[in-house]
Amino acid sequence: QVQLKETGPDLVQLTQTLSITCTVSGFSLTTYNVHWVRQPPGKGLEWMGAMWNGGGTDYNSAFKSRLSISRDTSKSQVFLKMNSLQTDDTAKYFCARQNPFFGYFDYWGQGVMVTVSS
């Protein structure tokens, strides 16, 4: 069945780089788009960016040039990297699969909670 699972550090130091891996199963990254969404504690959802099935990417300009998304199709993994972390980057980070026919996210990972520590 379709599954997405995020793995990453619990704690990252201020100004350092965050790296999170989304490992998927039950579908191919060359067929489906995968997105990243984050949620600060007690707050709403924020779209960060997408890895398209063709290998391209799109980013929310709110993250300027801090954010990078890449993939390894042979390992069914999508990677998120964000540098220059600040305390307001403390959040739960989710990866989600886009439905192939519509724009909504039909499967979500459980998320990984990352705290940025000063």
Nearer to other proteins, 34 or 96 (CB): 96
Nearer to other proteins, 41 or 74 (CB): 41
Binding region for other proteins (CB under 8 A) out of 5-13, 69-77, 82-90, 105-113: 105-113
Q: How far apart (Å, rounded) are the C-alpha atoms in residues 118 and 115?
A: 10
Establish if 41 lies at the interface with other proteins (CB under 8 A): no
DSSP states of 73-99: GGGTEEEEEE-S--GGG-EEEEEEEEP
- Which range binds other proteins by CB under 8 A, 19-27, 64-72, 83-91, 100-108? 100-108
Residue entry with tokens 């403390």 = 90
**Angle at CA of residue 78, ends 6 and 74, nearest 5°:** 120
Q: Which residues bind other proteins (CB under 8 A)?
A: 35, 44-47, 58, 60-62, 92, 94, 96, 99, 102-106, 108, 110-111
